[in-house]
Structure 1
Amino acid sequence: MAFEADGGQAAPDFSIGSAMGAAANYVAMGGLNAAAIAQVSAETQKLVSAAKSGGFKITEEGVKPLLQAVRDMAKELNSLENKTVLLSQAPQLGDHPYGRAVAAHDQKGAAQSANSASAVIGQFRQVVLDTEEALLRASGQYKKKEQDTVEALDRLKG
């Protein structure tokens, strides 16, 4: 059974301005799950849309600390992912039917369910990437990043 936040807890603020901070705080409280990520993702998509339409702009200088925070979060997610890789393996609980059944159940809850650590980290990683895209678009740096990525991929091919 995956962990679900207590329904009596105060709901975090997932507004555009505090989506990343709210998610980080929610992680610290142990309540991050697929539903919370979906809320954060929806707010992040609003940010991306606003940046695409020109409704959200920021200077290159002003965006630097925000990009640094987003990139630091990406590094944190990589670290968390490395720490949770063992969750994808079934625990060794014996070679009898009950041990195998419990091990399969534990593995499914830890690494395969919608609220598993692996799934939530993957979903949160997408939120972080979308946030970076919004910030780069808002500061006019997105096309340069796209060009740099294409050039890097071309160099790998050739």
Structure 2
Amino acid sequence: MSDGVFDNDSVPSEPVGGAGDGGFMAGIGKMRDSADRMIESAKTGGFRSSPEGVKPLIDACSRMIDRIEELRAIFSRLAQDPKLGSSPYALRVAKHDRQSADGPQGAVPQLLALRETLVALTEALYRASSQYAEADEAATMRGSARNDLMTARQGFSS
């Protein structure tokens, strides 16, 4: 007799929703590559804009970065196995759920990668508007974001 949702071995062993074939992370990677190309173009004068032209974009990126930072407290909770019981099947489901949160294709690494990409995009926008002091600040943030991403990945894999 079935006792509900956790009555068989139906937990998928591979990521679902396109995550295994790229999914959201592939999109973040493409976005990051574009931001890096924008930075290089802005450095050589190939991409320019007025400060007023990039301000709404910089503001939007800043709001998204701030929101991801606000979520960091939740990230640590997601890095814990959910308490679903001690049966072998419940432990498998808990492991699968945690992988959805902080595994290689999980929500946490994807959000941290998005943050790093938004910081790079902000740097490109500052450079394009010839606001080099702000661009240097964005580059510093970018280095910090990269360090945060590496630290988070190491913390989640241990």
Q: Shorter-chain TM-score: which interval?
A: 0.5 to 0.7
Deviation at 1:71, TM superposition (A): 0.6
Percent identical across equivalent pairs? 31
1:24 matched residue in structure 2: none
2:15 matched residue in structure 1: 2
Give the 3 Å change call, closer, same or farther, for CA 56–145 of structure 1 in structure 2: closer
- Greater shift, 40-49 or 94-103, is seen at 94-103
SS in 2 for 1:58: coil
Query: TM-score of the superposition, structure 1-length normalised?
Result: 0.65
2:34 matched residue in structure 1: 43
Q: Is the 8 A contact 2:126 2:134 kept in 1?
A: no
1:60 matched residue in structure 2: 51
Give the 3 Å change call, closer, same or farther, for CA 40–79 of structure 1 in structure 2: same
1:23 matched residue in structure 2: none
Give the 3 Å change call, closer, same or farther, for CA 148–135 of structure 1 in structure 2: closer
2:107 matched residue in structure 1: 117
Deviations 1:33-80 (A, max 9, x none): 211111211221221111111101112232222211111121232244
Aligned equivalents of 1:75 and 1:147: distance in 2? 16
Query: TM-score of the superposition, structure 2-length normalised?
Result: 0.65
Aligned equivalents of 1:124 and 1:130: distance in 2? 10
Structure 1 gap ranges (5+)? 7-30, 151-158
Q: Are 1:141 and 2:154 matched, yes or no?
A: no
Give the 3 Å change call, closer, same or farther, for CA 38–135 of structure 1 in structure 2: same
Aligned equivalents of 1:34 and 1:75: distance in 2? 20
Structure 2 gap ranges (5+)? 1-13, 141-158
2:84 matched residue in structure 1: 93
Give the 3 Å change call, closer, same or farther, for CA 32–121 of structure 1 in structure 2: farther
Q: Is the 8 A contact 1:91 1:107 kept in 2?
A: yes
- Greater shift, 57-66 or 47-56, is seen at 57-66
Aligned equivalents of 1:4 and 1:148: distance in 2? 33
CA RMSD, Structure 1 to Structure 2 (Å) = 2.9
